[in-house]
């Protein structure tokens, strides 16, 4: 597929305006195309949404090859020579170089990826363990075929290949550390040390790429940043920049969430990371981090409460009032109401961790009072079902209070 400029613009515009479910479908279709030369440029416009939506993306050799370098990849338009980063336009020529130098392995890896996506973590780890170390051996100083045609200067080939080779040499331990860090596993820090320590000798660019890869995935990035700084003091500004950028992305994801459930997930992640960053801050960065955290907490906490208050009325109280006044509710209706209450509870729990506790308390108190009034003359639901809604929303003690009300 070769997209002309006008078509690419139209597709980019359409993607930007498309609803979430449609973006996932279109991206899946584009991912299925063999020639990605223009696709990456089109997808750049929706990458922040893709990070948030995480649609299943098919596993292919080039994507697998560059997974450990994810944090160093930038859109070609934003890349500058000497930036210690890798333009996305370099993926195709470098992947071709690796496939050409390792034809048997490339064929086996391609066969192994068929039918799998990036979310098949075991497949990614197993195929990566074969591909990455081998790729590091063939990424020797040269100008890959198709490099200049991809719009890249010849002089950039050597430093970019050196960066790739250094990261691929450590890619297996890096990926293990990333997996553990994203799950918040206890062994994450030890694995991160094992992965990052050898990168120190390779210079700032590979260490920065490896560290950023771990930070972006980690539930506790502060611990990993502290570890990296202890390995190399020079990496400190890079770590702080990466942390600030990660938090900004997290906060943006909270603001952009399109449902209470998604907002709960994104806010929960942000709250966890903020707590870790404040906990691990040393005297040098404590004030700066606390100021940044306070601003993020205030803004995202307010956003969570605003969404909570609106969704409480829209998804629970209004439908409940209608159901309460009607005939005995169908099972599906009760499931819908309980599902809404659970989404709200998740959002409230995550939002509380960011602040606005009094506001959440007030909203919950009002909601429970309203449900209790409806339960006084039960029709569509019985009292136990009203009590269950209150229990899901505000806990068992509030539900007991409803049950104790005369009625």
Interface pattern 171-210 for another protein (x via CB under 8 A): -------------x--------------------------
CA distance 23 to 335: 28
| DSSP 8-state class, residue 4 | -
Rounded to 5 degrees, φ, ψ at 73 are -80, 135
How far, in Å, CA of 86 to CA of 88, rounded? 6
Examine residue 342 and tell whether it contacts another protein (CB under 8 A).
yes
CB 1 within 8 A of CB 35: yes
For 128, residues 6+ apart whose C-beta sits below 8 A from its C-beta are 64, 67, 68, 171, 172, 175
Question: What are the structure tokens assigned to 306, written together?
Answer: 């605003």
Binding of another protein by 345 (CB under 8 A)? yes
Q: What are phi and psi of 163, to 5 degrees?
A: -65, -45
Shortest CA distance to 39 belongs to which of 64, 17, 59, 15?
Answer: 15
Provide, rounded to whole angstroms, the least separation between the CB of residue 386 and another protein: 11
Binding mask 112-141 for another protein (x = CB under 8 A): ----------x-------------------
For residues 178 and 185, what is the distance between their CA atoms, to the nearest angstrom?
10
Among 26, 309, 321, 334, interactor with another protein by CB under 8 A: 334
- Is 338 a binder of another protein (CB under 8 A)? yes
Identity of the residue, 371 or 399, whose beta carbon is nearer to another protein in the bound complex? 399
Minimum distance, C-beta of residue 126 to another protein, in the bound complex (Å): 9
Q: Does 396 bind another protein (CB under 8 A)?
A: yes
Q: Which is nearer to another protein, 68 or 268 (CB)?
A: 268
What string of H, E and C letters represents the secondary structure of 176-194? Answer: HHHHHHHHCCCCHHHHHHH
Q: Is 387 in the site for another protein (CB under 8 A)?
A: yes
Q: Does 384 bind another protein (CB under 8 A)?
A: yes
Closer Cβ to another protein, 154 or 331, answer by number: 331
Question: Interface residues with another protein (CB under 8 A)?
Answer: 122, 184, 331, 334-335, 338, 342, 345-346, 349, 382, 384-385, 387-388, 391-392, 395-396, 399-400, 403
């Amino acid at each position: 597929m070769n997209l002309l400029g006008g078509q690419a613009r139209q597709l980019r515009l359409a993607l930007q305006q498309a609803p979430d479910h449609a973006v996932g479908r279109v991206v899946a279709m584009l991912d299925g195309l063999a020639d990605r030369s223009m696709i990456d440029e089109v997808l750049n416009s929706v990458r922040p949404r893709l990070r948030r939506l995480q649609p299943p993306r098919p596993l292919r050799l080039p994507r697998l090859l560059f997974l450990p370098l994810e944090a160093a990849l930038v859109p070609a338009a934003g890349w500058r020579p000497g930036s210690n980063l890798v333009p996305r336009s370099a993926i195709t020529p470098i992947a071709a170089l690796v496939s050409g130098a390792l034809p048997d392995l490339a064929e086996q890896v391609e066969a192994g990826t068929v039918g799998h996506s990036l979310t098949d973590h075991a497949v990614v780890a197993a195929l990566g363990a074969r591909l990455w170390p081998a790729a590091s051996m063939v990424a020797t100083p040269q100008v890959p075929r198709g490099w200049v045609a991809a719009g890249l200067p010849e002089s950039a080939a050597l430093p970019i290949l050196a960066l790739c080779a250094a990261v691929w040499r450590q890619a297996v331990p890096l990926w293990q550390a990333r997996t553990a860090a994203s799950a918040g596993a206890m062994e994450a820090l030890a694995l991160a040390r094992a992965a990052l320590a050898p990168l120190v000798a390779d210079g700032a660019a590979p260490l920065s790429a490896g560290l950023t890869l771990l930070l972006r995935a980690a539930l506790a990035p502060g611990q990993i940043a502290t570890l990296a700084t202890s390995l190399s003091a020079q990496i400190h500004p890079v770590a702080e920049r990466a942390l600030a950028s990660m938090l900004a992305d997290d906060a943006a994801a909270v603001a952009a969430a399109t449902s209470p459930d998604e907002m709960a997930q994104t806010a929960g992640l942000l709250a966890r990371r903020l707590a870790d960053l404040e906990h691990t801050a040393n005297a040098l960065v404590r004030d700066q981090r606390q100021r940044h955290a306070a601003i993020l907490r205030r803004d995202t906490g307010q956003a969570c409460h605003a969404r909570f208050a609106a969704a409480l009325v829209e998804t629970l109280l209004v439908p409940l009032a209608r159901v309460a006044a009607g005939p005995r509710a169908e099972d599906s209706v009760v499931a819908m109401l309980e599902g809404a209450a659970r989404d709200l509870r998740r959002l409230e729990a995550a939002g509380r961790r960011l602040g606005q506790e009094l506001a959440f308390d007030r909203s919950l108190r009002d909601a429970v009072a309203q449900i209790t009034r409806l339960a006084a003359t039960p029709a569509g639901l019985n009292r136990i079902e009203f009590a269950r809604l209150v229990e899901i929303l505000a806990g068992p003690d509030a539900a007991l209070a409803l049950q104790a009300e005369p009625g």
